[in-house]
Structure formats: structure tokens, C-alpha cells
Structure 1
Amino acid sequence: MKTLAVALLACLVTPALCRVMSVTLQDDPLEGNTEVTLQLHDGLADNWIARTNYSDETFTNGWAFLELETRPVASDSVQAYSAGYLEAAASHAIIYNSWRNTMKGYCDWQGEEYCVKLREFVKINFKWMLSMIKKHSADDPLWYQAGLVLRQLQGLMDGYAKHNTEGDIPSEDILWMNMSGDLEDLESALKQDNSSRVVRGDGHCSALVKLLPGNTDLFASHVTWNSLQSMLRMQKRYILPFQPEKFKQGVARVPGHTAAFSSYPGILHSADDFYLLSSGLLSMETTIGNSNPALWSNIQPQGEIQEWIRVLVANRLAVDGKSWTKIFRRHNSGTYNNQWMVVDYKRFLPNKVVKPGTLWVLEQIPGLIVARDQSQHLQETSYWASYNVPYYTSIFNASGQPALVEQYGDWFSYDKTPRALIFKRDHVKVRDLGSMISLMRYNDFKNDPLSKCDCDPPYSGENAISARNDLNPSNGTYPFGALGHRSHAGTDMKVTSSALFSEMQYLAVNGPAHDNLPVFRWSTSDYGNNTAHYGHPDEWDFPVVHVSWSW
């Protein structure tokens, strides 16, 4: 492992790369009028209502960084709009490249017939959400915050449209970038011909909550599994001190007013997901998906809030793991179906027995959510591992997993799938942050017996904590798509400890794991000539960075 580097969001550190910008309010909207006129400034204006500190260090350490803050001198609605507007104004160049790599031509890949259905679904869904926001935002915090999320999204679209210098992005595509997780399931739900892009057994992320021996510390770590073209990444910190008077109850700001998280250009949420919140909570997930076609009928455009919006609302409003799950489960969309882990660092005391409420685990599929306190499990086993397989029996059975086990074997089981066995074998090796990082970046698929499969050759780069499917032979034979050669890897790692969390800090590295494997290079990869990777470095060999903040 390389020596830890420090990434500080301060222009004095990287003056050539860093840009401070702010916006001031030129025209405050009248009641009932949503139009906002903002003035963009290079530097910090005296009467700023939103400011950002942005630096693109992709070629230096693999990340772009964005720290964004609003002030309650303006209404919550204006703050939310300004936050989105300023983010797009500051980071439009990397947003454009990320769009070209991941979303441009979406309807060409998926087919116009599907996109017609998608547009109609989204139109009805947004009309319903807006009607609920209008009707209930005065007396329901969920709808009030949902309205602010949509205002921030509108600000992002408008900010990009006004300030980009690279090329236009349809506002529809910016919405779909934010819906990227939901889209994967909407493709399956709206198509009738099984032509969605979902790969059988496709893995999305590994995660681990690890209690150190003697309960001396509590680590939480997440590894994103994604396409190689998705590696333009951003570390973000939002400070959004919303003050809804009708819900204050003596509290000046919503509990999750500040969030630090790994993310992507032009996306208002994490999408990985990995969040550190001012409420003392850490939320993260791995995707469990749905393999039962009968459940897709539960996905309807009315009555449901898209998953990415529900996550942001739960992150802002929740005070503990239980309340997070209660907020998140409202209006279940059945899209972007994940296992969520919510760690309450307020409840963790070093050298003490794990308190109830320290770890909550929620699983979602269409029509069903199950959530329980798993703190006792954490105390008894010293870890909670997550690897894209449902834990709760009702979720496991309803989502179609038993049929996959019957057809393909233990790979689709909860406790005998390769990552379950690797975590069970190796979590005991974790003694400090360095050994935690080594575990979360682990991939020795050609030598580890737990990485073997009924394949030719008899192993797969999928069968590790951090995948490297690009290294599987293109002429190999595999029983299902997830194990094969494809543009898919563990593309990052994030980890925090109780001490780091107290400062809203964490360690992170971008790029496919390569401790025992070749460094990923576009110039030598067979994906280099046919996969969009605008704005990418050729070689992805970056240090672990310490993500901290200047404000």
C-alpha cells in the first residue's frame, strides 16, 4: 500500500487546480414564484448565499473535490437551488466528460420504445411528487425535503445550461444521470423483452462494518463496483443549513445538514453509496437487485418516490438508524434495490460493549422492505459484511434467489458465495486502517481457492472483495455473465474510523485494485479503443488520500 497522501480542499495547496466561486441573490422570488436570479462570482462575495471550493485533481490523485455551503440568509428553496446551480457552474467540464462516458446515447443503447415508456413513467411520477409536495410540504418533513431535492436538481440543470463551455447536455440526461441506479431496475420493469442491460449475477459493491478486537474502534468501508468508464469521480461535502420553521422544534438545522460523500460529476447524491452525516450517522449500501419478474408489477409511477431522493431525505432528517429506516421505507419505489447499513457513531464507545442501535440493516425490493437492529450481531461476530446478496430470509426468497441457487449453486447463496467466505476468513486480519484497506482492495483471483469457479480458466476476477473482470480472458467460458470478461471492476475504496468520522473525514483511493494484479491502463486494455473515457488518466495508479475539508 502506498503512503497515505493528504487531499486538502484549500486553494493554497493546489492553486492551479482550485477555484473558489460564490453566488449572490439578485432577485428573491415572490411567494408562489419559483424564478431565481443569481449572480455568479469568482472568489467569495461579501453577501454570498452559496459558495464552493472546487478542485479537479483527477490526474494527480484520481479525484475531483467539491465543497459547497449555503447560508440561511436566503430561504431554504433559494439555498437548494443555489447549491445545484453553483455546483454545475464550478464543475461543468467534468460533468460534460462524465456524461459523454456514461449517459450520452442512452436511448440508442436501450431502444426508443423503452425511452418512450420511461419518459411517460417519469412524467407521471414527477407530476404526482409535485402534487404531494404542494399538498403536504407544510406539515410533512419528508415532502418538504423532497421539494428541496428537486429544487437543487433544477438549479443543477440551469447552472449547467447557463455556464457550460464544452457542449450542451439535455436536461433529461442530467435527470437520468441522477436516476442511474433507479434506471437499472426501471429497464427491467418497463421492458417486456428481457433486453435490459442487467448482467446475471452482476455485483455492485462490497462493504464491511468491522469492530476491532476489544471494541477499540469501529471501521466502516465501501468498495464501488462499476464500469471502467465511470471512474471520473468526485468527493463532495454539502453544508445545507435548511431551517424549516414548522419542523424546527428547537433545532436550528435539520440533523443531516452536512454530508461528506463519494460521488460522481453532476449527481446530487453518492450513488455508491457512502455518506458521513452531521447527525452522527454513516449510511452505505450494496445492491441486492431483484430476480423475480413478478415483483416488477409493484413499480408504479404514482405513490412512489425514486430511491435517490428517499436516500437524501432520510440522510437529512434521521437522528438514528431506526428513524433513518422509517423515513427511507416510505413510498418504496422498488428501484435501485439495496442492502443499506446505517452506523450510528454517536452510540459507539471505544472499549465498551456495542450499544443497541449502533448498526441498522435495511433491505429493499419492489413491494417489500425489511429493517432490523443488527448491533448484537456486530458484537457477537465483530463484523457485518455486505456483498450483493440479501440477508433477510423474506427478502432472499421473494427476490428470486432460491431459484438462482438451484440453477447455479452456492455462488448465489448468502453464506457460501465467494465474498462471504473471503470476508469470513479474512476479517480477523484487520487490526488497523492499513489492514482494513488491504482487505477491501483484496483480489488474488488466480491463486485464492475461494476465487475458483466452474469456468475455463477455473477462476474469475469477480470472485474477490474488489473485482477485476477486465482481467478475465475474453475467450474464457463462464456459467453466467457476472463471472466473465467485461468492463467492470472495484473502482474505488473508502474507509473511516470513529476518530476520522468525528471530523467527517475518511481515506479513499480511486481506480481498480492492483496489489497483486496489473495496474489498469487504458492504453493496454482491450477496452481502450471502444469504450468512452474522456478526461481519464491513462494509468490508474493513485495513492490513498485523506479526504478532509477546508470549511
Structure 2
Amino acid sequence: MAQCGKFLIYFSIFIITLATLCSCQSGSVIYKDGLYTFSKGINKRAASYGTFTDKIASSGWTYLDVHTNPQDDDFITAYAAGYVEGILTAKYIYMHWKNTVGDYCKQKSIYCQKLKSFIMKNNQWMATQIKHRPHSIYWYHINLTLIQQKGLRDGYHKAMPHKPIDEFSFLLIELSGDLESLETALKDEDTHHVLGSGSCSAFIKVLPDNRDLYFAHDTWTGYQTMLRIYKYYELNFSMLPKTNVTVPGTRISFSSYPGTILSGDDYYLIGSGLATMETTNGNSNEKLWKYVTPSSVLEWIRTIIANRLTSSGNDWVKIFSKYNSGTYNNQWMILDYKLFAPKRPLNPNTLWVLEQIPGKIESADVTNVLKKQGYWASYNVPYFSSIFNMSGNQEQAKKYGNWFTHDKCPRALIFKRDQHKVNSMESLMKLMRYNDFKHDPLSRCNCTPPYSAENAISARSDLNPADGKYNIGALGHRCHGGTDSKSTNYTMFHSGLKSYAIAGPTHEQQPPFRWSTAKFNMTKPLGHPDLFNFTRQLVSWD
């Protein structure tokens, strides 16, 4: 049993045969007299219920769906949703924590004290805002988000009492995106970021005659993170307490990880009609880090709030822009599938783009760009000139060349050259998994050997030779690359927030990634398959 006061503030479609290795468990959380009790099986009258399906061995994914009772108080709903997820996914939370941030502070005592102080001050500041703004929809839902996160933590400890994770260490999983910026802003001298390291490729395509609208994303990150959960939440929140107005983003489907209530990739399909995703731009202008202060809302929370509370691109960027933390600085794409109709002209506000750096956010309706080009591509270089110049990309381009430019970097040119080949979901997947770095002239670099597996839509930096010579660190040998691909279209989105998803580094033109033959000074992460040779999955919540 767990106890939580209501007003506490806390912070190839692949058909699987019956022989496929798969385990499934379901459970419900019942709330009564201030206590939360977990029981096996589905009870649709419970405060929350969910199902966790483990197909990691056959598909590279696990799957989680969480539902809540619309009759319950929002605070009960938030905590119960986190609690049932924490129990059902506890084993994977522990393994993912050990694989990624379990030893994060082991040799960073000075920096971690700064980080803990920053987080404590940030929590105190948010608590003050929540307390003094009881009628604010924004702060009400930040409180619910933090309560859900506490429920997740408590559910984990209910299931895994013998393997405790302290509150700060648990929060590091949630902070994975913000953490890289905080390392630089708080001057972590033990961490050295790789020059030019990219994070994600994204692509939006309008077919000729507006027949369809595709939405696709590749995550780029360290391979130790490839313990994945694809999630579906149906969280029946009200806009404010005791109102009959529900939030637009009650239902949301997203690729994710154990121990976190957001995507992190980020790739979201939302019942409001919005699809949102981002790629990381970063910031190399040291002068801007002064704008990173505890009196702000970290990016992971602002993402959840914007996805939940809005139903248009214009409103999304307004909500997200509040209390800019200057951490996890990305280019966000907000696609409104409600405004698209096959074979009809594109409506204004169909696609909004937002870019963030410390101290500044710029956004615009870029539907006309999508209409003119027939596509929108995103690849870790700012689109808006003000963001490009202020974040230091102009200086990097002068020093290192076109690799740091928006229109001439390798991925910009590959997308421009090959986007016309996309006319089906199969050809979309081929583009998003594309990496022919040894033969594609656009993958060449001033390096030895004269090409890099980073210069592709889905990177495979593990294939770059460890003894190669590269003037930009990101182009070299690393345990890093494209770790998945997700995509949807108009029909799939509107028929239940469905996606195609494929797990692991690309093997379209390259050999599949295998931990046992990978040349890294590390053991295979807990829970990972040895071989990532998976086919495309249809993610459906029917």
C-alpha cells in the first residue's frame, strides 16, 4: 500500500507468432481512504489500470498502456497512473537506471552538489508558484505532473524494495534531456561533450496533390539507452479542479523509456489532433548559460504541459515558451492533423516550428515552407537565423565549414536529394533508416577514412574506425547513433494514434548491430538483446 495526500507538491509489418517470446502482465490500482492498493488483472473501476507487454526479444520493444477512471479526483488520477506504471515496469526501470545514470554522480561529487542544489531550488520555486496560483491551469498541471512522477517512483519501490533508488537518482532518468545543458551551465569539469554531437533526425512529407501527410522521427543517442517502452496514456484530467472541462491531450501515444513519464526522444501522437517531435540544436554560446536559473520550468515538464493542454500549434508554442529553462534546447515541430484533409490545399497553421536557446525562443507557422518544398526536415541545425547566430552556429560554420550550416550540411542535402522518392510508408522507412556512408558522396568528410557513418539520416557511429582521424568529434567512432525510427500518416493517426516503429541501429545498408562484436570498452547493458536485427512493428492500441 502507498499513501499520498491529495494536495502534496512533488516533484515490414511484423506478425508475431504464438511461439514468439513474450510476457504480459496487467494490474490495477485501487484508491480507498487515502491508500493505494495494487492488484493483478484489469479492473476498469479502479483509479488506474494498465498492461505491460514484453516483446524485447522479438521486436526490440516493450509496450505499456495506462488508463484512469474519469470519475476520480485529478490528484488521485495522477498518482495512481504513475503508481501502476512503476509497479508494472519496475524490473526495466532498475535495468535502465543502471545502464544510463546509475553511476552518474560516482566521480562528479562537486558538480553533483551543484546539480542537487539547483534541483532543490527549482523544486522550491515551483512549489511556491503552485501554492500561490491555485487557479492557474498551468501550475495546476505542473503539480499533477510532479505527483504522477512521485507515483511512478513509489510504485517502483513497492515492486522492488530490495533495490532502492533515491529520489535524486530517480529524477536523473527524467532529466536525461535537460542534463546535458545543466552539465555545461553548472560547469561540470568531468564531462566533455563531443563537438557537433547530433540528436535525432525528423521529417514531414506532403505527398503530391496532398494525398497524404507523413510524420517521422529517428532518435539519435547512446546505444546504452536501447531498453525501450512504447507507451499509451489515457489520463482523464480536468483543466481545473471540479470542472467538467477535460484537457485536450487526454490520450497520448509515444516512444519512451523505463522510469520516465515523457518520451525523451521526443515523438508524440496526441488525441487533441497534434503530433509533436523535436531534434536537438544545442548551444555553444557560453554567454547564454547565465539565463539557466532555478526560477524556470525544466524542458521535460514544459513538454508534458504543452502536449496536454493545447490543441493547436499556436497555443502549443505559447504554453511551451513559458518559463524557458534554457535546457534541452531543441527545434520542435507541431503538426496539426485536424487541419489536413487529403487532396485539399494545406491550411495555415498546419505546421508550427519552435526553437529554443537559453534566454530566447522563436516560433512561426511554417506551413508555406512545407507547401513550397513538399517536405520539412530537421537535423540539429537551427532554422531561424536569430537562433542560428545567437547559439554559436555561425562561428562554428566559419571554423569547420558546411557541416554546421542549415542548408548545406550532409543531412540537409540528403533529405533534399531523396525526399521525392518517398511515396509510401515503406519508402518513408527506407529514407529514415538510410545510411550508405561508404558510397554516398554526401557522407564524405575531410577525414581519414574520407567518410563518416554520422553523415546519414540514421547514424551508425559504431562503424567508424576507432583509429580514424576526424576534425569534428561527432564524426568519429562512438557508441552512438540512430537507435530507432517511428512514423505515421493521416489514416494511422486518426485511426487510434498508430505508428510504425523499428528498434535499434539501422541495418538497411549496414550489418545489424551486435553487442558481442561491438568494439566498445563496456559490457552489454542489462536487459538488451545481443543482436538488434528487428523488423518494423505496427504499434496499435486497439
TM class by shorter chain equals: over 0.9
Paired residues of 1:347 and 1:358 also in contact (CA < 8 A): yes
Whole-angstrom distance in 1 between the partners of 2:315 and 2:359: 20
Change (3 A) 1:53 1:445: same
Give the C-alpha shift of residue 213 in structure 1. Answer: 1.1
Letter in 2 for 1:79: T
Q: Deviations over 1:287-313 (max 9, x none)?
A: 0000100000000111x1000000000
Give the C-alpha shift of residue 135 in structure 1. Answer: 1.3
Change (3 A) 1:333 1:317: same
Partner in structure 2 of residue 379 of structure 1: 371
Change (3 A) 1:178 1:442: same
Identical-residue share of aligned pairs (%): 47
Whole-angstrom distance in 1 between the partners of 2:76 and 2:236: 12
Paired residues of 1:289 and 1:365 also in contact (CA < 8 A): yes
Query: For 1:203, which of 165, 190, 198 is the aligned residue?
Result: 198
Q: Are 1:25 and 2:31 an aligned pair?
A: yes
Paired residues of 2:336 and 2:350 also in contact (CA < 8 A): yes
Partner in structure 2 of residue 274 of structure 1: 267
Give the C-alpha shift of residue 5 in structure 1. Answer: 1.5
Q: SS at 1:464's partner residue? A: coil
Whole-angstrom distance in 2 between the partners of 1:158 and 1:191: 32
Query: 1:136-535 to 2 correspondence within 5 Å?
Result: 136=133, 138-164=134-160, 167-191=163-187, 193=189, 195-245=190-240, 252-302=245-295, 304-502=296-494, 503-527=496-520, 530-535=522-527
Change (3 A) 1:115 1:7: farther
Pairwise CA RMSD of aligned residues? 1.6
Change (3 A) 1:182 1:22: same
Give the C-alpha shift of residue 4 in structure 1. Answer: 1.0
Change (3 A) 1:533 1:26: same
Paired residues of 2:45 and 2:69 also in contact (CA < 8 A): no
TM-score under structure 1 length normalisation? 0.94
Partner in structure 2 of residue 31 of structure 1: none
Paired residues of 1:184 and 1:197 also in contact (CA < 8 A): no
Q: Are 1:96 and 2:88 an aligned pair?
A: no
Whole-angstrom distance in 2 between the partners of 1:45 and 1:426: 49
Q: Are 1:5 and 2:19 an aligned pair?
A: no
Whole-angstrom distance in 2 between the partners of 1:406 and 1:517: 33
Partner in structure 1 of residue 8 of structure 2: none
Give the C-alpha shift of residue 478 in structure 1. Answer: 0.3
Paired residues of 2:221 and 2:482 also in contact (CA < 8 A): yes
Q: Deviations over 1:27-52 (max 9, x none)?
A: 23xxxxxxxx2110001236411000
Change (3 A) 1:233 1:192: closer
Q: Deviations over 1:449-481 (max 9, x none)?
A: 000000000000100000000000000000021
Q: SS at 1:513's partner residue? A: coil
Letter in 2 for 1:148: L
Change (3 A) 1:242 1:14: farther
Whole-angstrom distance in 1 between the partners of 2:36 and 2:309: 28
Hey, which bits of structure 1, 4+ residues long, moved more than 3 A?
12-16, 244-248
Give the C-alpha shift of residue 244 in structure 1. Answer: 3.8
Q: SS at 1:23's partner residue? A: strand
How many equivalent residue pairs?
530
Change (3 A) 1:351 1:99: same
Paired residues of 1:7 and 1:545 also in contact (CA < 8 A): no
Q: SS at 2:97's partner residue? A: helix
Partner in structure 1 of residue 116 of structure 2: 119
Whole-angstrom distance in 1 between the partners of 2:16 and 2:162: 27
Q: SS at 1:546's partner residue? A: strand
Point out where structure 1 has 5 or more consecutive residues left out of the alignment. Answer: 29-36
Partner in structure 2 of residue 44 of structure 1: 42
| Larger displacement relative to structure 2 (383-392 or 236-245) | 236-245
Letter in 2 for 1:4: I
Partner in structure 2 of residue 57 of structure 1: 55
Q: Deviations over 1:294-337 (max 9, x none)?
A: 000000111x1000000000000011000000000000000000
Give the C-alpha shift of residue 245 in structure 1. Answer: 4.5
